[in-house]
A and B are shown apart, each in its own frame.
Chain A
Amino acid sequence: SYVLTQPPSVSVAPGQTARIPCGGNNIGSKNVHWYQQKPGQAPVLVVYDDSDRPSGIPERFSGSNSGNTATLTISRVEAGDEADYYCQVWDSSGDHVVFGGGTKVTVL
């Protein structure tokens, strides 16, 4: 089945840019979605369809997807962005949802 690979952790200083990769075989041919999960809370959709933002999500959150890697980019990182981030796709070969293992973003 399809596998999504994320680094366990990413560290970034406040005001800098965090880039969170999500690797998968030819992931550029799929639609990638991203969720933010803060401790003790349910996940929140922050990017869908590779690069679109739901209403209420700051423009600082953006996404891209090409080749074998999709990337969530958080610009001008704030302390409140510290959370776990998960990528997700639909595996049409088996008709099922796949999540990446998650990346913990630490704001230094």
Chain B
Amino acid sequence: QLQLRESGPGLVKPSETLSLTCTVSGGSIIIGSYYWGWIRQPPGKGLEWIGSIYYSGSTYRNPSLNRRVTISVDTSKNQFSLKLSSVTAADTAVYYCARHLEVAKVGSALQYFDYWGQGTLVTVSS
């Protein structure tokens, strides 16, 4: 059974960089048709996609966060990571990692998240 687990500091100071890692177990990160994504959820609010990465390093990123987001992959460790720079209190959220399927269809594309980590709360505060 595929499992994903987020890890990283639970508290980050304003203006600093948030860093999280997602470790994938029960399957390889090197698999066709699957990206690996980050999604966040501020307390009491909805889901916001941050970005996704393929094992080759190709990425998709949310335009609203693009300039502050770096997503990387380490296939040797079966991990992928998120860095979000210049954080503010608005970046306080539960951060989830998830497996992101991408399948081409005629005239469209299937893109959805089929496995999720449990999430980790990151608070931005001095």
Shortest Cβ distance from residue A41 to the other chain B in the assembled complex, whole angstroms = 8
State the Cβ distance, B40 to closest chain A Cβ, in Å.
11
Interface residues of chain A, those whose CB is within 8 Å of chain B, are 1, 29-31, 33, 35, 37, 41-45, 48-49, 54, 86, 88, 90, 92, 94-102
Query: Would you call the interface of chain B mostly helix, strand, loop, or mixed?
Result: strand
Pairwise interchain contact B48-A99, C-beta atoms closer than 8 A: yes
Q: Which residues of B pack against A, CB within 8 Å?
A: 37, 46-49, 52, 60-63, 96, 100, 105, 107-114, 116-119
- Nearest first, the 9 closest Cβ-Cβ pairs linking A and B are A90-B111, A97-B49, A33-B112, A42-B116, A102-B46, A99-B47, A101-B46, A48-B112, A31-B110
29 A/B residue pairs, CB under 8 Å, sorted by A = A1-B63, A30-B108, A31-B105, A31-B108, A31-B111, A33-B112, A37-B47, A42-B96, A43-B47, A43-B96, A43-B113, A45-B113, A48-B110, A48-B112, A49-B112, A54-B114, A86-B46, A88-B112, A88-B113, A90-B111, A92-B108, A96-B49, A96-B60, A97-B62, A97-B100, A99-B47, A99-B48, A101-B46, A102-B47
